Amino acid sequence: MFDLKKVIRSNILTLEPYRCARDDFKEGILLDANENTIGPAVSNLSKEEINLELNRYPDPHQHNLKQQIIDYRNQTPNKHLKNKSDQLTIENLCLGVGSDESIDMLLRCCCIPGKDKMLICPPTYGMYSICAITNDVSIEKVPLTIPNFQLDQDKITEKLQSDENIKLLYLTSPGNPTGKLINVDSIIELLNKVGQFWNGLVIVDEAYIDFTSKNNEFSESMCTLVNQYSDLVVLQTLSKSFGLAGIRLGITYSSKELSHYLNAMKYPYNISSLTSNVAIRATNKDGLKLVEEFVDQIIKQREIVLNELLKLPNVGRNIGGLDSNFILLEILDKDGKPSNEVAKKLYNTLATKEATVIRFRGSELNCTGGLRISIGTPDENERLIENFTKVLNDIINE
């Protein structure tokens, strides 16, 4: 049976959260936090910025923002949710400076440096490995199956059974760079299986979840299941579908017990007043309506870009899926074989000669010849298709 206290490092179990000035009192003559009481040293502040009192430390708990987030996600609970009483509450959330802080925090919470390990399923997001190396945590790998980029359950199970030092399993769904949603039923099956023998956390990174097709029966977010599966953690961000990469806000959904420890670990004022102000506006009724409109536009443009580029003679398959705000195309050489050489030359020439920047991903496992292309505005996409066609044709005919 899963026992969270056997996963979390012993020093974290005894950690006393830092009590900050705004924990007890938030109103009145506030002379308790050594703030500059005169005001911010910025001229021409807007009325809204003045109301934010930027000379004061921000709310360390962000309950209003958390409530809006869970209200939104609880509207569409996962079909696997057995009891309505297991829906999300604000006690399930920990907010971070982007998902990267969440990734790093989970490693620091659970993995003893130089001893414990994490498991990833490449091709996957590169920050998992960077955070692991920074924290002196060894990395084990079980590749996603090809060509569909799904979980290899048998090998994952075998790996977890053979190594008790693996504490975390990171899954990206939809994947980056694959753009492919991992079958939710498959993740549920894995949770049920490994929960019988493994004391570790299954972490599902859902940065791109809102771009999955509404017609996809497996497209539901898993965040509403964290009270039902205490070994499940789900990461999300406002960077993608909300279009707020610049405010750096990540969300960790986990059991209330784990969330308690994560909130105890985080820096007390990690979410700025500016960030929370924008995030609250983005997760209210008007903001969510805009999110839906923008996602629909991106999905339509994704189809246009993909269809046009697949017509080109030296573009092979869409290697990944259609579950994100990007596509992963396979570039072929003159002999019709996937080619990193051609893909890299196309990537470099587009950037340096045509000011059109995409991403070379051919070095990722099972992504030979891969170029990852984010979906832009209609005008940007039109120019991309034009420049892509011209440069690729020039390279092939050299």
Query: Domain limits of the chain?
Result: 59-283, 290-396
Cα separations (Å) of 375 from 315, 323, 385, 391? 17, 12, 11, 19
Cβ-count burial of 247 within 10 angstroms (0-12 exposed, 13-18 middle, 19+ buried)?
Answer: buried
Pure H helices in 111-226: 127-134, 153-162, 184-194
For residue 123, the model assigns a pLDDT of: 98
Query: How would residue 219 be classed by pLDDT, with cut points 50, 70 and 90?
Result: low
**Same CATH topology for 59-283 and 290-396?**
no
pLDDT per residue as tens digits for the range 226-268: 999 999 999 999 999 999 999 999 999 999 999 999 999 999 8
Fold held by 59-283: Aspartate Aminotransferase; domain 2 (3.40.640)
Task: With a cut of 70, say whether residue 216 has pLDDT above it.
Answer: no
CATH for the 290-396 domain, from 3.90.1150.10, 3.40.50.1980, 3.10.20.600, 3.40.50.720: 3.90.1150.10
Question: Could you tell me how many helices (H) and strands (E) the chain has, helices first?
Answer: 12, 11
Closest CA to 254 of 224, 276, 219, 218: 224
Q: Is the whole model's pTM more than 0.75, yes or no? A: yes
Give the separation between CA 358 and CA 346, rounded to whole angstroms.
Answer: 10
SS3 at position 204: strand
For residue 214, the model assigns a pLDDT of: 63
> Measured between alpha carbons, how far apart are the two ends of the chain, in Å?
62
Q: Give the distance from CA 198 to its chain's centroid.
A: 24
pLDDT per residue as tens digits for the range 101-122: 999 999 999 999 999 999 999 9
- Phi (first) and psi of residue 119, to 5 degrees: -120, 130
Cα separations (Å) of 130 from 100, 107, 160, 214? 10, 11, 21, 33
pLDDT per residue as tens digits for the range 300-309: 999 999 999 9
Q: Which residues contact 71 (CB under 8 A, 6 or more apart)?
A: none
Residue located via tokens 């969300």: 251
